[in-house]
Amino acid sequence: MRSIRRTAVAAAAALVLVVATALPAMAHVTVDPAQAPAGGFTVLTFKVPNERDNAGTTKLEVQLPTDHPFSSVSVRPNGAWTATTATAPLPQPVTDDDGNQITEAVSTVTWEGSRIAPGQFEEFQLQVGPLPDAAGATLSFPAVQTYDNGEVVRWIDPVVAGQPEPQHPAPSLVLTAAGGDAPAAAAPSSSSSSSDTTGRTLGIIGIVVGAAGVVIAVVALTNRPRVADR
């Protein structure tokens, strides 16, 4: 009986640990919109949740695509947060709408100077363009989130259409046809992410239910009156 109780307690503890580690992983840095017409300008909103209950987010660094650089990048002011940009040379010069030749573009944007407290989130916005004229392509925006306890979380894993979402997905934007209709090749990206999130949520709910069942069983075994040996 003692062995059974010890095993049940250990199993319950393990399940609770899995739940505790799985729940925070559901929230991650994302970019909105998830799709935008190719060739135009758009406002990108990076949503940053604070996933820790004992630390605050004090810095966010977002990398802009270097294979499809933006000739125009504008940062929206955001309270006490200070935004700084860094530029990098372009592999090939590009010509903007005014006929000017662009030889470098913004490669990273960093926000710091304030804090996202536990249980809160923040939004950071950029106006960028023109987007590449490549309907169906996916633009990736790797992000690095820094906490005031020194922890650094890198949201840099590529998101591949039709594949399960990685543990630390990079914020991604799918380019649609100029008319606004999503190309067939890009459609699985959104549905895959949605299905993966739904499946993960159901899985965690199942774990919670299982953990609760084990705990109830442990309590029942502990409180069960002993039967005298015959």
How high is the pLDDT of residue 94?
A: 76
How many angstroms from the chain centroid is the CA of residue 141?
10
Q: What is the pLDDT of residue 100?
A: 79
**Whole-angstrom Cα distance, residue 47 to residue 120?**
11
State the virtual CA torsion across 144, 145, 148, 151 in degrees, nearest 10: -70
31 close to 141: Cβ distance less than 8 angstroms? yes
Q: Does domain 28-180 have CATH number 3.40.630.30?
A: no
pLDDT score for 26:
54
**CA gap 90, 106 in Å, rounded:** 10
pTM (two decimals) = 0.68
Other CB atoms closer than 10 Å to residue 177's CB: what's the count? 14
Enumerate the domain spans of the chain. Answer: 28-180
pLDDT at 20: 42
79, 85, 84, 86: which is closest to 115 by C-alpha?
Answer: 79
pLDDT in tens, the chain (230 residues): 555 555 544 544 444 444 444 444 457 999 999 999 999 999 999 999 999 999 999 999 999 998 888 989 999 999 999 999 999 988 778 777 677 788 899 999 999 999 999 999 999 999 999 999 999 999 999 999 999 999 999 999 998 878 898 999 999 999 999 764 444 333 333 333 444 444 444 444 454 445 555 545 544 555 555 544 44
